[in-house]
Amino acid sequence: MLDMGKVRASFPSLGGGYIFADSAGGSQCLESVAAKVSDYLLNTNVQLGASYDVSVRSTNRVAEGAETTAQLINAASPDEVTFASSSTQAAENLARAIEKDVLDDEELIITGEHEANAGPWKKLAARRGLTIKTWPHTQLASAPNNPYSVELAINALLPLITAKTRLVAFTSCSNILGTIVDVENVIKAIRAEAAKHGARKVEISVDCVAYAPHRRIDVKKWDVDYCFFSYYKVYGPHICALYARAASLANSLSALTHHFLSVDKIAYKISPGGAGYELTYAVSAVLSYLQSLSPSGNIDDSFAFIAAHEQELLKPLIGYLTSDEAKALGILIVGSETVDTWRAPTISFVVSGGRPIPSSDIVAYFDKKGKIGIRYGHFYAYTLVDSLQPKINVDDGVVRISLVHYNTIEEVNTLVSVLKEALQALS
């Protein structure tokens, strides 16, 4: 069980009584992270790689970012980790680096989720005349009467794989649906299907941005080639971590760095320039915080505590949104209606039916109420939101309430109470 007093004390912003329920857009920052940013800039803000003592200290500090990230995601080496300004930038760098190893007749499979792990591959396909296929969302059997209750099902992916498949890029957790994908088994199925067809080389890129705050990334267990996540959604600064498997670094990726640098077998080769030193150093505080959540200091135990707490946060909110009262008002959850281990506490919904209410109006009611942060829109999962049937206004999108482990049951109850007020006032 999480020690919520200890958890919340780690985030100074939580002391003001504000309910932060837009964490899928960016979590609150740990005090320990901010302290490292400040310490770096005030005491070791010099260029790396020199022989004088302050530069040596600075170089070692920056290296901690990759070292602790490798531990966090169970990478074989810090050399498999690099950083970028955002996940969108990281995926774009990856697509540029892989371009020379893709043949003209090969195919790329993407999901219509967050554009960060779709847009770069679309651009690569356009540059090279490649075929793009989209893994479609399918109706969840558990909610046959809700057309917006959809998921990424493996049986809709496998028929897309052929001898020409070169790369599959998918999300490990939807930032709209909140559904957690069984990454390990999806990757096993992709590799087995590709082998049946005799594909030349199939690699897999996984968007872990909406997954990383809620579950542990385990690149070895998953057998994944590439993945990335944003530290600013995992209690850190605005920087992204990108993992590339050693074999892929050596055999699939061309260097984006200066031609004279010896970086062929390290992930830095896919960074056209270094990320902010103070940010790279500061992410090292995230691992220590997560380890502190478990008495054993074991990161897997910590994430088990996080998942258990977040399941409790889901119950009152999902309970109301699926109630007869909510259904009578036309509320439909976009995503799974079930509270289970395959659902993150990212909840999207629309108010449709006889008297639809724009998502923007609901959020505006919360804004007027004050001291609560939620949001509406497509959240860069434009293709997913635009594909929902019956059609909704993609710019108005969905109402999204996204929680993490530092939120409390009392905060969720307040959110439900204000939502009921909003629906009464706007209906």
pLDDT digits (tens, 9 = 90+) for 241-296: 999 999 999 999 999 999 898 888 899 999 998 899 999 999 999 999 999 999 99
Rg of the chain in Å (alpha carbons): 22
10 occurs within a structural domain? yes
- Regarding whether 397 and 271 lie in a shared domain, the answer is no
pLDDT at 314: 98
Number of domains within the chain: 2
pLDDT at 353: 80
- Regarding whether 187 and 238 lie in a shared domain, the answer is yes
Cα gap 107→176, rounded to integer Å: 26
pLDDT at 355: 87
Cα gap 162→193, rounded to integer Å: 8
Alpha carbon distances (Å) from 155 to 150, 184, 189, 381, 385: 14, 15, 10, 22, 21
Domain boundary (233, 262, 289) is at 289
Residue stretches of the chain with pLDDT short of 50: none
Beta-bridge mates of residue 167: 108, 203
- Regarding whether 208 and 168 lie in a shared domain, the answer is yes
34 occurs within a structural domain? no
Residue type, 74: N
37 occurs within a structural domain? no
Domain boundary (231, 254, 289) is at 289
pLDDT at 286: 98
- Regarding whether 211 and 91 lie in a shared domain, the answer is yes
**Helices (H), ranges, 182-260:** 183-197, 219-222, 246-251
pLDDT at 262: 82
Cα gap 305→326, rounded to integer Å: 30
CATH code, 185? 3.40.640.10
pLDDT at 50: 97
- Regarding whether 171 and 54 lie in a shared domain, the answer is yes
pLDDT at 261: 86
- Regarding whether 190 and 104 lie in a shared domain, the answer is yes
- Regarding whether 220 and 119 lie in a shared domain, the answer is yes
pLDDT at 276: 95
CATH code, 371? 3.90.1150.10
pLDDT at 379: 97
pLDDT at 264: 84
pLDDT at 171: 98
Cα gap 126→409, rounded to integer Å: 47
Residue 312: HSE in the Cβ half-sphere, 13 Å Cα cutoff: 14
Cα gap 272→268, rounded to integer Å: 8
pTM of the model: 0.97
- Regarding whether 419 and 337 lie in a shared domain, the answer is yes
108 occurs within a structural domain? yes
Residues with Cβ within 8 Å of residue 300, at least 6 apart in sequence = 216
Segments forming the whole domain that contains residue 320 = 4-28+299-426
